[in-house]
Chains A and B, each alone.
Chain A
Amino acid sequence: MTGREVAVVGVGESELGVTGCSIYQLQTQAARAALEDAGLRMSDVDGLATAGVERFSATAMAEYWGMRPAWVSSTMEGGSSFELMVGAGVDAIRSGRCRVVLISYGSNQRSAASRRLRGMVQPHTPADQYEAPYGVLSPLSLYAMAAQRHFHEYGTTGEQLAEVAAAAREWALLNPKAYRYGAGPITVDDVLSSPMISSPLHLLDCCLVVDGGGAVVLTSLDRARDLPKPPVRVLGCGQSVTHITMAQAPDLTRTGAVESGAAAFAEAGIGPEDVDAAEIYDSFTITVLLTLEALGFCGRGEGGPFVEGGRTRPGGAFPMNTNGGGLSYCHPGMYGVLLLVEAVRQLRGEAGDRQVPDPEIVLAHGTGGVLSSHGTVILGVDR
């Protein structure tokens, strides 16, 4: 079976925060860091997956780097793109289409001031025709409505959402690369007294808007065992899409992570109880509660009580978003690649002050669009 197994062999970040760099520079920093971590070179890469550069993202980066990859993927599914690329990359390596896949991302949205409140709704879409005329903010409005519905159906409170942000900050204080490293802790009351942005979400329920990039290198487990760092095995992947237009969301409190998670757990042959740490997309605090429920870490509607009592904070029973998350570490528009970077560092024991004690299995879950697109990746140590 090992002949068909694929491993993550390298991870890296670009400069994060306010960088003044171009997308291409940030991509290059991230890719070089991940390849150096893997003990490989640009010339070893024959599969390339990236998004958010332009319409032909993988081709654009191949040109910039002088590559002629045998396999490319420009799958653009927002924040979940990179979890989907792991699944596609595993398939490409297993089927022999390529041997070394580089998954990379870079965004200079903060330096370039390219983020718009309205979002990136394209003019020919149903969202533009039926929803933009009401002044929707994409993605913010949809997440706010999901939170409102969750409050209504399950009695979830603003305090419970705020705990997600407060816990993320505790982790960020342990991560020197976090944007809020050194910013001091925040309390539940701090979140609730921050300005209301889109009820019931306050400013501190919303992720950072900063530059950043990351990269991940995949190859076969057999080859991985000859490389310098211990391999991190890809145990299972799953994906799901449900809608892209806000009013088409089939259920605001049950996301497609139900299906992506079930597929990933089935492939890995494990269940939620086997996961030692989770890196959960936190575009907004509500995203985390919905995803924890959908993945089966708690029951439907139980996300609020689940995170109470510091369960997800450093030292808690359920280590989550251990880099500080999109809320306090880095959110470069499409954050999913950095979930994978952190999951791998935790499994290798490289996470410094924020290291979880000896994790064997870490789950990363990316969410794209307006709770639209979901990718779950389960990673494990090689033993």
Chain B
Amino acid sequence: MTLVTSPEAREWWEAAKNRRLLVQSCRTCGHRQHYPRALCLRCGGVDLGWVEASGGGTIYSFTHSHRSPDPAAFEPPYTIAIVTLDEGPRLLTTVTGPGIRCDARVRLEWRAAEGGQNLPIFATEPEEG
């Protein structure tokens, strides 16, 4: 699948190539947001930079999909999830590993994609006790 890269996300995708997950950060008010935009959603400012995500997060929700838009690329069943990063913003992704459930802790991993690109994905953390 060919990835789409918009100009405001060029640095985000470049970082992903190097397996670094960036979160857009407002230099005026400190608000953090994903996906990258041309303005801050909180203060409306346009002086925007980046912070690197710690890689931790929690599963907001998920689904195991038994239908696929492209079975060669996504063999069912596969998982789609929304993860809340520890930095605050949410992103749509996939989660692997045992114990997938809402509010479970996950860690950042990477999946190789077309053209040397990488996609951020997540894996569940071993449950305590």
Contact = CB atoms under 8 A, between A and B. Distances in A.
Contact of A133 (B1, B34, B35, B82): B1
Interface string A53-90: 00000000000000000000000000000000000000
A133 B63 contact: no
Interface stretch (B18-26, B47-55, B70-78): B70-78
Interface string A32-61: 000000000000000000000000000000
Interface residues of B, number: 35
A53 B1 CA distance: 29
A157 interface: no
A246 interface: yes
Interface stretch (A123-131, A220-228, A275-283, A373-381): A123-131
A309 to B, nearest CB: 27
Contacts of B97: none
Contact of A135 (B35, B60, B69, B102): B69
**Of B3, B68, B82, B94, which is in contact with the most chain A CB atoms at under 10 Å from its CB?**
B82
A200 B64 CA distance: 8
Given A126-B35, A129-B4, A134-B92, A246 B82 contact: yes
B73 A134 contact: no
A340 B13 CA distance: 45
A129 B81 CA distance: 16
Contact of A130 (B35, B94, B102): B35
Interface string B102-113: 110000000001
Given A130-B92, A133-B119, A135-B80, A196 B102 contact: no
B96 interface: no
**Of B5, B9, B73, B80, which is in contact with the most chain A CB atoms at under 10 Å from its CB?**
B80
A149 B61 contact: yes
A370 to B, nearest CB: 11
Nearest to A119: B69
Interface of B: 1, 3-6, 9, 34-35, 60-70, 73-74, 78, 80-82, 90-94, 101-103, 113, 119
Interface of A: 116-118, 123-124, 126, 128-137, 140-141, 144-146, 148-149, 152-153, 195-201, 245-249, 252
